[in-house]
Structure 1
Amino acid sequence: MALIEHLSALPAYAPPGHSGTRNVRLVEKDFCGSFEMILGRIEPGGIADTHAHDREHQVIYVISGLCDVTLGEEPARECGPGTVIRIPPKLMHTVHAKGDTALEIIVLYSPPLPPRADVALEGDAG
């Protein structure tokens, strides 16, 4: 594992249950074992379907774009640049990108997510 890499050298993937999403893992779980960090891009209209994580805490930081976030039974809330979204384990949540530009986010999981059916994507990550 290289300690310094450019974003364009990292593989992109689409997670299961997400449409219009292109993620790049910036920090792999093998780096320290206690977290992983992802740069996510969701095209307008794309969605992370309603789901929960069994034991992982998730933090989302909105870099650019707009989304509606639903946490549990609460009504959806519009989130834009600078918003920090904290999602504890077992809380059902949905992220729906909206507006005219892609939603760009940083996502942290602690502990890292277990293996799942990510789909490798072609082309540059960055």
Structure 2
Amino acid sequence: MDYGVAHTKDVPVTDLSEIDELPPDLNIRSLDDVLGLEKMNAKLWYLEPGEQIGYHAHSEQEEFYYVIEGTFSLKLGRSGEEEVREVGPGTFFSAGPEIGHGYRNVGDERGVVLAIGTPPVHDPGLDPHALD
């Protein structure tokens, strides 16, 4: 891939509830697929009030997040050392390999989070409590 350009409205929405192998049951836009990214994952996650990405970790992947819309409660850190913070639009957060992370939409409106991960592995996540 040399370069790519796409507008959000041109990236199809995928309803993960229709794909048994891919929890959670949220809507995403796979920016990486449309842009032909080979060395990272890039997704827009859409979370309605109360929806969440559960606390998990990845064996290899480093992830970077940007809150575009909504209010979220973050849970970040190693098992037993987690930090919980409430954040809103304009907030960046990250988690390295084997570091627990998760977030819940605690606001009254739909939330949107940009998630970028590298390397582009597709593991379902590890239980951070099992990494101690």
Q: TM-score, normalised by structure 2?
A: 0.74
CA shift at 1:89, angstroms?
0.8
State the match for 1:104 in structure 2.
112
Spell out, residue by residue over 1:78-125, the C-alpha distance to the aligned partner (whole angstroms, 9 max, x if none).
010110001101111121111111111111011113266xxxxxxxxx
Distance 1:93 1:12 in 2: 24
CA shift at 1:30, angstroms?
8.2
Distance 2:120 2:10 in 1: 21
Q: Which has the higher contact order (CA 8 A, sep 6+)?
A: 1
Distance 1:99 1:31 in 2: 33
Of 90, 98, 103, which aligns to 2:98?
A: 90
Spell out, residue by residue over 1:27-85, the C-alpha distance to the aligned partner (whole angstroms, 9 max, x if none).
23983421121111111100111111110111110011000000122231001011000
Say whether residues 1:49 and 2:54 are aligned partners. Answer: yes
State the match for 1:39 in structure 2.
44
Q: Higher helix share goes to which structure?
A: 2
Aligned length: 115
How large is the RMSD of aligned CA atoms in angstroms?
Answer: 2.6
Runs of 4 or more consecutive aligned structure 1 residues displaced over 6 Å after TM superposition: none
**Unmatched tracts of structure 1, length 5 or more:** 117-126
- Please tell me whether the aligned partners of residues 44 and 103 of structure 1 are also in contact (alpha carbons under 8 angstroms): yes
Of 59, 66, 87, which aligns to 1:79?
A: 87
Q: Higher strand share goes to which structure?
A: 1
State the match for 1:12 in structure 2.
13
Distance 2:96 2:63 in 1: 6
Q: TM-score, normalised by structure 1?
A: 0.77
Distance 1:70 1:115 in 2: 20
Larger displacement relative to structure 2 (59-68 or 26-35): 26-35
Write the letter of the residue equivalent to 1:45.
G
Inter-CA distance 5–61: structure 2 relative to 1 (3 Å threshold): closer
Identity of aligned residues (%): 27
Write the letter of the residue equivalent to 1:52.
A
- Please tell me whether the aligned partners of residues 52 and 90 of structure 1 are also in contact (alpha carbons under 8 angstroms): yes
